[in-house]
Amino acid sequence: MTIECVLFDLDGTFADTAPDLHFALNQVLAKHGRQPISYQQIRPAVSHGSQAMLKVGFGIEPDDPRFSQLQKDFLAIYLNNIAVQTKPFDGIPALIERLEQRAIRWGIVTNKPAWLTDPLMRELDMHQRASAIVSGDTTPYTKPHPEPVRHACQLAGVDPARSLYVGDAIRDIQAGRHAGTKTLIALFGYLSDDDEPSKWEADGQVSHPLEILHWL
């Protein structure tokens, strides 16, 4: 079957956002008199959002009374530093050019809220090239619910059955599968040692973005 649209998760698949998120978390830790954490500690948590990153940094859950303010501080610092070190993963710009040359549409489906997704995509100069950008608050649902992926296919004007979703977390693969797309695991993303991608029931795995072209 011909793939007419390739959709990407944002953090850990399309863009390497971990360095700027690492900086923001360490700024919040310093503000509260805590020692910084290493990049290696935070990288596997990035795909799982601010809750996971704050758990790594502060050892707290969302029901902790301190959580809400810490999250606000963390995201405010991140917004002001959203594209200092962040850039597309090596191979993504070339992949996007090749997709566009083949008239294959592409887009983003992320759980990141739009007030963070949109400025980041603008800073990466990719916002006008994407056929669909679906954030965590674009629909009433977030991944692993399939609705964000379905909505992205609708925006791109493509049948989910002729689409491919690429992500680095099990929720990405679940969302794509239940939306009816083909799915690929981005092994170059923010997987942890505890992840078992072979059990995620994806259609394939890639170790570099340009391998997607071979898969297509």
Q: Would residue 147 be called left, alpha or beta, if left means φ above 0 and alpha means ψ between -120 and 50 degrees?
A: alpha
Average of pLDDT values for 5-29? 98
Q: Sign of dihedral through CA atoms 175, 23, 125, 87?
A: negative
Q: Topology of domain 5-16+87-215, per CATH? A: Rossmann fold (3.40.50)
State the catalytic residue, choosing from 9, 16, 20, 172: 9
pLDDT tens digits for range 162-186: 999 999 999 999 999 999 999 999 9
In the CATH scheme, what is the code of domain 18-80? Answer: 1.10.150
Give Cα separations from 143 to 74, 92, 112, 114, 167 (angstroms): 22, 22, 10, 14, 11
The pTM of this model reads: 0.95
H/E run at residue 15: strand 15-16
Domain with CATH 1.10.150 in the chain: 18-80
9 noted as active-site residue: yes
Average of pLDDT values for 50-76? 95
pLDDT of residue 60: 94
137 noted as active-site residue: no
CB of 158 closer than 8 Å to CB of 6: no
pLDDT of residue 83: 97
Give the span between the Cα atoms of 92 and 88, in whole angstroms. Answer: 6
Domain with CATH 3.40.50.1000 in the chain: 5-16+87-215
pLDDT tens digits for range 184-204: 999 999 999 999 999 999 999
